Chains A and B, each alone.
Chain A
Amino acid sequence: MNKELDQYLDGELDGADLQPDVKQEAEVWNAFLRDVRESGAQGAPVGLESLVLNSIQTEKRSQWPRIIDWWIDPHAIRIRPLIGLAAAAVLAVIFLLPKDAVVPVEPSGAATTVVDNEVVYVQFKLEAPEAKSVAVAGDFNEWVPEVMLADPDGDGVWAGRLKLSPGVHRYMYVIDGSHWVTDPYAERYTEDGFGRQNAVIAITGGAGARSLAP
């Protein structure tokens, strides 16, 4: 339907404002509406309802356009703030918690390693009184010296615990961000291929109790 005509029939436009061709069509509509009003019809003609419903059914859209529309049209979901916060907290724990977080050393220093299932907490220590910072880097963290040891009492002994999985790990200490040093107290060493030695940790976990094949 012509937009101008539509607005006229809705009472938004005055008949005088219509274009001549639209005015002509508007008069036809006016006559029709007048006839309807004068006929005094109380309800829809018999059979009109089924005619309309049949018409709608024939216009029923196939499945695929409706599926596509569902993916494209905006939707709204209802969410309880409490559940939303809980979900956000879970996601934060999963994505933001550092995997190689250093666990502070217990003051007693009684245990060097704590086995929790197949994860082992390894305590690293280095005596470096002149150091401003000490980090540990190894094949377990792609040699990024970001696992910082701490010296809370300022006695020059830097320490920290790191969660490692069972296996053979190589590492070095990094003093003041750039000075790589081999752990002088490591039990094992291996050549690093660059003229220095990496310290080696062998963590057996539960497999350590297995007997060797004769």
Chain B
Amino acid sequence: MIKVSSYSLAFQSPLFLVLLVAIIGVVPLGAQTDDLVRVRALLGEGATSQIEAAIQLGLADGLPRNLLVDKAIEGAAKGMGSEVILAAVYTLTDELRQAGTVVGLDADEVNLEKAADGLRSGLDQSFLVELYRENSEDFAMVVVALEDLLRTGVTVRVAQNMLRDASSRGLRVNELLRLPANVRRLVREGRTPFEAVRSVRASMRSGRRPPYPYDGTPNFSIHRRHQTPIQFMWSIN
């Protein structure tokens, strides 16, 4: 049997300890409050003040601070000049304002951001409003899939119709995210984007689930052999 002794530990008054803990806790909290500290360190006080002013304009319109600050931090981290960052923050402010008409300014930041992305990529505002009303939980993922689809070269109308088709057939979110890769594969094989979408939609109508374009394991040898982009994220569910 191990005998464990106790030792007395003298410490200062409880008041002193409480103050000490408060100071230890408040110092990092204070650092967090200054969320532009990295921007300030990289760009200096003057430039940061201008960026802060731009952010304040967005806040006055009810936009979430986090998204605007994140853009400024991203720009500073990437070594952009203050003018470029300022322009990016103003642009994002405008985009988020418009996105607010789709999902409301009180929506989750991720939904607000994806609504802005969707509008920027050319999706109809009314379509996005309807999409958010019906799929508010998966809105961001659906917009990601639509953006991805548009990047394959299909038109906005075709992409939106394909989503309606997928929804009516009860496709899961993961399956929807796989659709653009299937379209892209067919395009690489020589079909036009329109033909590729038609083929994938026909496959959906026949009840087949969108397959993984590859077997799911990222492999540089596969990439080198086919010279095609590979997806690292297939096995996420």
Chain A interface residues toward B at CB < 8 A: 70-82, 84, 109-113, 115, 120, 122-125, 127, 137, 139, 142-145, 157, 167-168, 172, 178, 180, 184-194, 196, 200-214
B141-A187 in contact (CB<8A): no
Flag whether B195 is at the interface (Cβ < 8 A): no
Contact among B4, B15, B114, B137 for A71, CB-based, below 8 A: B15
Residues of chain B at the chain A interface (Cβ within 8 Å): 4-15, 18, 38, 70-71, 73-75, 77-80, 84-85, 88, 91-92, 110, 114, 117, 120, 134-135, 137-138, 140-142, 144-145, 147-148, 151, 166-168, 170-174, 176-177, 181, 216-220, 223, 229-237
Interface of B is mostly: helix
Q: Which of A70, A200, A207 contacts B144 (CB 8 A)?
A: A200
Main secondary structure of the interface of A (DSSP, over half): mixed
- Measured between beta carbons, the chain B residues less than 8 angstroms from A192 are 74, 78
Knowing A168-B114, A204-B177, say if A187 contacts B79 (CB, 8 Å): no
- Check if B77 sits within 8 Å of A209, measured CB to CB: no
6 contacts between A and B (CB under 8 A): A71-B14, A77-B11, A113-B233, A167-B110, A192-B78, A204-B237
Q: Which of B84, B172, B216 contacts A208 (CB 8 A)?
A: B172
Select which of A78, A194, A204, A212 is within 8 A of B171 by beta carbon.
A212
A210 touches B172 (CB 8 A): yes
Asked if residues A188 and B9 are in contact (CB atoms below 8 Å), the reply is no
A77-B8, A122-B233, A185-B230 in contact; A191/B120 too (CB < 8 A)? Answer: yes
Identify A212's interface contact among B8, B18, B138, B218, CB under 8 A: B138
Contact B177 A180 (CB under 8 A): no
B176 to chain A, nearest CB (A): 6
